[in-house]
């Protein structure tokens, strides 16, 4: 009976579990709040952190000093801006020398190609007319190509005919020579016959 009386009822067990769950949820909520605060601090550390604020203050102070110098030298700067800068050396820090070399190469290349770029820009309004001219020129070239092909075919045919004629000329000459030789041999026959008849009559 004593052992049975020690056992707690199920309702009290569930109540203790519910209490544990609520405690865990409250702890999770607290941790989430801390995480959000840390994220916010990380995002705004360049605004609220003393180290970054000191850097920004130093940068602003240097800019302020520079502006004060510019305001003090305002008259001389205005005179320098009004005067054209020609054959003057601009002081450049050694750190930027390699960049200036690259910049000068780009500037030289740009100046060399400037006239071509300007010519291209000037020709932009005439692109349609130039395309029409190019299409007409291509059509004329096609016509000339066809005419050239026909002319080449005619030349080849004429050459074949000339070769046939040139190959038949020796045959014609040979036939003429043969006929001429036959005439030379046959022509004395009447004379010989007359002579033979005359000799017979004299006999």
Question: DSSP class of residue 49?
Answer: -
Q: What is the pLDDT of residue 196?
A: 42
**145-154 b/e with 16+ CB inside 10 Å = b?**
eeeeeeeeee
Q: State the pLDDT at residue 123.
A: 84
Buried b (16+ CB within 10 A) or exposed e, 96-112: eeeeeeeeeeeeeeeee
Q: Give the separation between CA 133 and CA 29, rounded to whole angstroms.
A: 78
* Rounded distance between C-alpha atoms, residue 41 and residue 48, angstroms: 8
pTM for the whole thing?
0.29
- For residue 170, report the phi and psi dihedrals to the nearest 5 degrees: -60, -35
pLDDT at residue 125, as a whole number: 84
Report d(CA 47, CA 54) in Å as an integer.
10
Low-confidence ranges of the chain (pLDDT < 70): 1-13, 46-48, 84-90, 183-203
Name the 3-class secondary structure at 187.
coil
Please tell me the distance from the alpha carbon of residue 130 to that of residue 191, in angstroms, as a whole number: 90
Q: Tell me, what's the pLDDT at 29? A: 92
Give whole-number Cα distances, 81 to 70, 84, 85, 180, in Å: 13, 7, 8, 110
How many CB atoms lie under 10 A from the CB of residue 88? Answer: 8
Asked whether 83 and 75 are in contact (CB, 8 A), the reply is: no
Residue 77: CB partners within 8 Å, gap ≥ 6? 70
> According to the model, what pLDDT value does residue 130 have?
84
């Amino acid at each position: 009976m004593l052992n049975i009386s020690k056992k707690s009822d199920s309702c009290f067990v569930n109540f203790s579990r519910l209490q544990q769950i609520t405690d865990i949820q409250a702890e999770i909520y607290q941790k989430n709040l801390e995480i959000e605060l840390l994220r916010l601090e990380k995002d705004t550390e360049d605004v609220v952190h003393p180290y970054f604020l000191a850097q920004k203050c130093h940068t602003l102070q240097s800019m302020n000093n520079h502006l004060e110098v510019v305001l003090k030298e305002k008259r001389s700067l205005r005179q320098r801006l009004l005067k054209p800068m020609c054959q003057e050396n601009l002081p450049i820090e050694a750190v930027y020398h390699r960049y200036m070399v690259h910049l000068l190469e780009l500037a030289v290349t740009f100046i060399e190609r400037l006239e071509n770029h300007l010519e291209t820009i000037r020709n932009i309004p005439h692109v349609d007319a130039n395309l029409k001219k190019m299409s007409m020129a291509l059509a004329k070239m096609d016509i000339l190509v066809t005419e050239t092909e026909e002319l080449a075919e005619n030349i080849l045919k004429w050459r074949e005919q000339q070769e046939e004629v040139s190959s038949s000329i020796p045959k014609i000459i040979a036939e003429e020579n043969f006929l001429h030789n036959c005439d030379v041999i046959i022509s004395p026959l009447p004379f010989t016959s007359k002579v033979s008849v005359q000799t017979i009559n004299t006999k």
